[in-house]
Amino acid sequence: MGLGAFPSSDSHFVGMLGMHGTIEANLAMHEADVVLCVSARFNDRVTGKLDEFSPHSPKIHIDIDPSNINKVVKVDVPIIGDCAQILGALVVRPELQQLDASRLAPWWTRIGVWRARQCLGFSKRYDVILPQQLTMALAATLASRDVIV
C-alpha cells in the first residue's frame, strides 16, 4: 500500500516493505527511531513475526477507520480521522524545518550498505522465463511507445 505516493526514482526511496520487499526497506523499518503509518495497515506480509517487527520504535498510526488501529500491531499513538486533514494540522517545529542533512548521513550510509546487497538483482537466464527478465525486456521494447500495460 502506498506505492506511487513517493517516486521510486528518488534516492530516498528504499523499496517495498515486507516479505516481498527489499532488504533495505525491511532493515530501515527494523532500525527506525519512529514509525508513522498513514492510512495503511500492518498486515502479516509486512510485519512477519510481530515480536520482531520494528521492536524499538514507537508507532504512530493515522487512519479514518478505527477498526484498523491496533488490529495487528499495537501502536503507541493512534490518530483517527481523515489523513489529509490530520497531516495538514501537524506542525513541525521551526528548528526542525531547517534540519542539517549531514546529520542524516550516517543513516543513509547504513542504508547504502544494505542497498549494495542488490536483493532484487538476478542473473539473466535463457533456459527459463524469469519474471524480472520478462518485465525488463517488455519495458525496453515499449519504452518509446505511449502504452498502458
Calculate helix-pair angle for 23-30, 105-115, nearest 10 degrees: 140
Residue recorded with cell 534516492: 11
The pTM assigned to this predicted structure is 0.78
pLDDT digits (tens, 9 = 90+) for 64-89: 999 999 999 999 999 999 998 998 88
- The better pLDDT of the pair 127, 8 is held by 127
23-122: CATH topology is Rossmann fold (3.40.50)
Which pLDDT value is given to residue 45?
86
Least confident of 33-37, 40-44, 105-109: 40-44
The yes-or-no verdict on residue 54 having pLDDT over 90 is yes
The pLDDT mean for the chain works out to: 90
Whether residue 81 contacts residue 38, with contact meaning beta carbons closer than 8 Å, is answered with no
Residue recorded with cell 519495458: 139
pLDDT band at 1 (very low <50, low <70, confident <90, very high): low
- What is the domain partition of the chain in residue ranges? 23-122
